[in-house]
Copies of this chain bind each other. A is one copy, B any other.
Amino acid sequence: MSLLVVGSVAFDAIETPFGKTDKIIGGAATFISIASSLFSTKVKLVGVVGGDFPKADIQMLQTKGVDTEGLQIKENEKSFFWSGRYHNDMNSRDTLVTELNVLADFDPIIPASYQDVQFVMLGNLAPAIQRIVLERLDHKPKLVVMDTMNFWMDIALDDLKETLKLVDVLSINDEEARQLSGEYSLVKAAAVIKAMGPKTLIIKKGEHGALLFGNDGSEEKIFFAPALPLADVFDPTGAGDTFAGGFIGYLAAHNDTSFSSMRKAIIYGSALASFTVEAFGTERLQSLTKVELDARVGQFAELVKF
């Protein structure tokens, strides 16, 4: 089934203990699109870049099978730019620069040819913009997955709660789940957040894996996906977006939103993220093959087998 991906397409400049980059392509929708395109899913991208965005990178997305008709190019403006520096433990980072540029007044226009989408991935953006995307679809999609972050909980909580009512799956990290729910226990946090709208909640715990709270028929279920223990994390940028892209890409390709399908989808997302962190930005993801991905999913199976 075809998949609508909405989010930032951007430049990142990254410093880690292992090195630093100039401006390289990044953005939530970029990672999501490349990750989901590995699953023979028709990926339809909505986003905005400036005239400074390399045509070669747009062609790279097209080569991956990503439809870029919905990627607006504002020739006289500049692309969204983020720069950050990771600390030695790679689990925390400082933001050095955030230039919204074209994203400041982003109007997410859905091309008519996108109106057949059945799966929607709302990458991290202002929750009001995420909601507009859903309002502009002429039908209710089969599954809407939303990513967000603590920033929007701080400055746009009411908007966030309005948008939450319209989504099926929310993907956030553990600290965000605690902030949004006011509960420390993730089990209690999940119950509070599910009552806000999303029937399914993914709580990402970084190097500690991810939890999926959902339902199998009328029965509440929890699934836990480990993170692969890695000797080196080279650059964590985009790992969460890659994870989300793998998750919805798998579901869309199999056209199956059951809890049992979501278990596998989470593992595919985790496996994809484990590749992303091996190199700067999208570098490793761009060269990744489905055969390599399937082999790594096998490592996850081996990791938890007992």
Contact = CB atoms under 8 A, between A and B. Distances in A.
A184 B87 CA distance: 12
Interface stretch (A8-16, A227-235, A280-288): A227-235
A232 B303 contact: no
A306 interface: yes
Interface stretch (A75-83, A96-104, A185-193): A185-193
- Tallying the copies of this chain within the complex gives 2
A205 B300 CA distance: 18
B184 A88 contact: yes
A222 B264 contact: no
Contact of A231 (B188, B229, B233): B188
A64 to B, nearest CB: 26
Contacts of A221: 302
Per DSSP, chain A at the interface is mixed
Contacts of A230: 185, 187
Nearest to A206: B208
Interface in A201-231: 205, 208-209, 211, 221-226, 229-231
A305 interface: yes
A89 B183 CA distance: 10
Interface of A: 88-89, 184-188, 205, 208-209, 211, 221-226, 229-233, 263-264, 266-267, 300-306
12 contacts: A185-B230, A185-B233, A186-B229, A209-B226, A223-B303, A223-B306, A225-B304, A225-B306, A263-B306, A266-B306, A300-B306, A304-B304
